[in-house]
Amino acid sequence: MIHPPVPHNEKERLKALHNLNIINSDPEECFDNITELASYICNMPISMITLVDETRQWFKSKTGTDMCDSDRDVSFCSHAILEPQNFMEVEDTHKDPRFHDNPLANDGDNPIRYYGGMPLLNSAGMALGTLCVIDTKVNKLNEHQIKALKALAKQVETLFEARYKNFLLEEARKDLDDHNTLLKDFAGVVSHDMKMPLANMVLTADVIKKKYGHLLGEDGKKYLDQLKRSGLNLSDYITGILNHYESEKLANTATEEIDLHNLLEDIIDLLGIEEDCEINFPKKNVNIKINRAALEQIFLNLISNSLKYNNKERIIIDIGFEKQGDFYVFTVEDNGIGVKQEEQKEIFKLFSTLSILDRKGNKGHGIGLTTVKKLVTNLGGTVKIKSELEKGTKFTFTVQAT
């Protein structure tokens, strides 16, 4: 018996094999279908997808045998991978000097007398194992059978490549989840730690203006007002970040039955509206079972936007509701500034800001509508915008009914 030599690229080959993350994996139907088909086409009792590691050949899939692996030193596939591009056929193992005294070829009950194997390559051309067929008697494949076996081997290679890409995607997803968790934690810690100093800064500006405004003059008061506005804007920005990263928690809270008009009244009270504003509720009040906390946050963001991005003396906001099949459909429509057509597709992206200023001359932070979309998506719905400059904006969002 001749022991198979080690391939010249063994280190790289083994690395590619282990990167596939397939050794000792569970059986998979897609591979089993191929070995069954190979056995049928080649009219052989045994067919296997083998992978050759440091010390053994392991069978990812097998038909016609109960074996799970065998020593690499006696394996036929370890010889086949030495010529990655070629089909290896041994018509009679007893007449081949490599295998005539091989223990597998001389097994009293199930001797391997015929072997045909096509190496399985990765995208870099390294042989990881073989798709092989085996018989307990002398045999030979015809031209069509060999061609079919090679085609099946290509299918196995495609499955290996898809598996590897899926593995990389899963690793990337885990890495992204880890980074996202760190970002959430960082945003939460930093935001909470910054809110108190900002509140102190705003309060201090008010105190200084009240106690020492007469000494500062008009310019001094103006600077204090700018300082206060900057503090309030940054505080709003931080609140938006916190709401965005905590939106998943809101979406996971329990559903409850609510009175829609009562919910909207509570939201208006929370907003403390000072502008001349008319808010029209849905004509027909309804009781619906829904995630109250998430819906409240969605309406807070949308109504707040309708108030801020409005240059009319009298702000008008119409809120609509209807049930369509398995979904609740809500609308929030205003007579505000409107959004440019080219900006509408970007409006739901995090930190994407519009070219327009709000009612107080401030630029938005690009967080509120991203939070709305995230909440709506987590509630099984969609959100869309319809807007025309100087005429107003209408947001329509759906929530899956429970």
Q: SS3 for 70-130, per residue?
A: EEHHHCCHHHHCCCCCCCEEECCHHHCCCCCCCCCCCCCCCCCCEEEEEEEECCCCCEEEE
pLDDT for residue 297: 87
pLDDT value for 189: 63
**Structural domain total, the chain:** 2
Helix (H) or strand (E) holding 321: strand 315-324
In a domain, 370, yes or no: yes
pLDDT computed for residue 192 by the predictor: 61
Q: Tell me the C-alpha distance between 109 and 41, whole Å.
A: 24
One domain, residues 279 and 395: yes
- Beta-bridge mates of residue 175: none
Q: At 394, is the secondary structure helix, strand, or coil?
A: strand
Same domain, 37 and 153: yes
* Pair 255, 164 in one domain: no
395 Cα distance to chain centroid: 26
Q: Is 163 domain-assigned?
A: yes
Query: Rounded CA gap, 149 and 302, in Å?
Result: 62
Per-residue tokens: 73: 């030193």
Domain span holding position 151: 10-169
pLDDT (0 to 100) of residue 353? 63
- Confirm whether 91 is domain-assigned: yes
Boundary-marking domain end, from 169, 188, 210: 169
Give the whole-angstrom CA distance, residue 46 versus residue 286.
68
Nearest to 306 by CA among 255, 350, 264: 264
Mean per-residue pLDDT pooled into runs of 10, the chain (402 residues): 88 93 93 97 97 95 92 94 96 94 88 96 94 96 97 96 88 78 64 68 81 81 78 64 60 81 90 89 93 88 90 94 94 92 79 63 69 88 92 94 82
| SS3 of residue 224 by DSSP | helix
Q: Is there a single domain that holds both residue 26 and residue 158?
A: yes
Within-domain flag for 259: yes
Considering the domain boundaries, does residue 199 fall inside one? no
Does a structural domain hold residue 180?
no
Residue 42 lies in a domain: yes
* Whether 145 and 285 share a structural domain: no
The per-residue pLDDT for 252 is 65
Report helix, strand and coil shares of the chain as percent, to nearest 5: 45, 20, 35
331 by DSSP, 3-state: which? strand
pLDDT for res 90: 96
Q: Which residues make Cβ contacts (< 8 Å) with residue 385, sequence separation at least 6?
A: 339, 344, 347, 393, 394, 395, 396
Q: Are strands 315-324 and 277-280 parallel, antiparallel or unpaired?
A: parallel
Instruction: Check whether residue 268 and residue 391 sit in a common domain.
Output: yes
Provide the CATH number for the domain around residue 337. 3.30.565.10
pLDDT of residue 98: 94
The three-class DSSP label of residue 36 is helix
pLDDT of residue 118: 97
- The candidate with the shortest Cα–Cα distance to 387, out of 369, 402, 365, is 369
Distance, in Å, from the CA atom of 81 to the CA atom of 102, rounded to the nearest integer, reads 18
